[in-house]
Amino acid sequence: MKLHKLIPFQRTIQDTRRQTQKSTRNILAGLSVYRQLFGQAQARQDQGAAKIKTFDNILAAWELTREEIPTAKKSLRIEICTWIATACLMLIGATTTSSGWVILQLATVAFVCLFAVTARVWKYRILDQEQFVPFKYWIIGKKTNEGGEK
C-alpha cells in the first residue's frame, strides 16, 4: 500500500479523536453543573428533614391528626395491597407474552409499583412507630435519631 493514500485516513482518525475528546469535555462540563445542583438540592433536603424534629410536625406536614392515624394506616394497607396486586399482574403479564417491547413495558410498570409499595411501607412504619426516619436512612436500614424524636 502506498503511504500517500494512508495519510488522509490518519488525518480523519486524528480529527475524529479530537472531536470526541472535545465532546467528552463538553459533556463532563455539563454534568458538573448538574452535580452541583444535585448537591445543593441534597443540602436543602437535609435541612428540611432536620426541621422535622417531632412526630407532631410530621403529622402536620402530612395534614393528619392523631385521631386520623388508624384510618390513615388502614388506607395505606389497602394502597400497599393494591400496588402489590398491580405489580404481580404486570409480572404475570410479562411472563405470558412473547413480545419484547410489551415485556419491557410491563416490567417497567411493575418496577414503579414496587417503588410505590416501598414509599407506602415507609410512611406506614412512621405512623406505626410514631418516629420519623428520613427515607434515605430507612431504605438502607440506618438507625438514626436525626429528627427521630417522638
pLDDT, average across residues 12-29 = 76
- Distance between CA 144 and CA 149 in Å, rounded? 10
> Which is more confident, 24 or 46?
24
Residue with cell 426516619: 133
pLDDT, average across residues 37-51 = 61
- Distance between CA 61 and CA 110 in Å, rounded? 29
Q: What is the pLDDT of residue 42?
A: 61
24 CB burial (10 A radius; 0-12, 13-18, 19+):
exposed
Top mean-pLDDT range of 39-53, 60-74, 131-145: 60-74
Q: What's the start-to-end Cα distance of the chain, in Å?
A: 82
Long-range contacts of 105-109 (CB under 8 A, 24+ apart): none
Structure confidence at residue 50 as a pLDDT band (50, 70, 90): low
- 68 DSSP 8-state letter: G
Residues 124, 80: contact at Cβ < 8 Å?
yes
Percent of all residues in the chain with a pLDDT value above 70, rounded to a whole number: 75
Domain spans of the chain, in order of start: 1-51, 54-150
pLDDT digits (tens, 9 = 90+) for 61-104: 888 889 999 999 999 999 999 999 998 988 888 888 888 888 88
* pTM score of the predicted model: 0.60
Residues 69, 145: contact at Cβ < 8 Å?
no
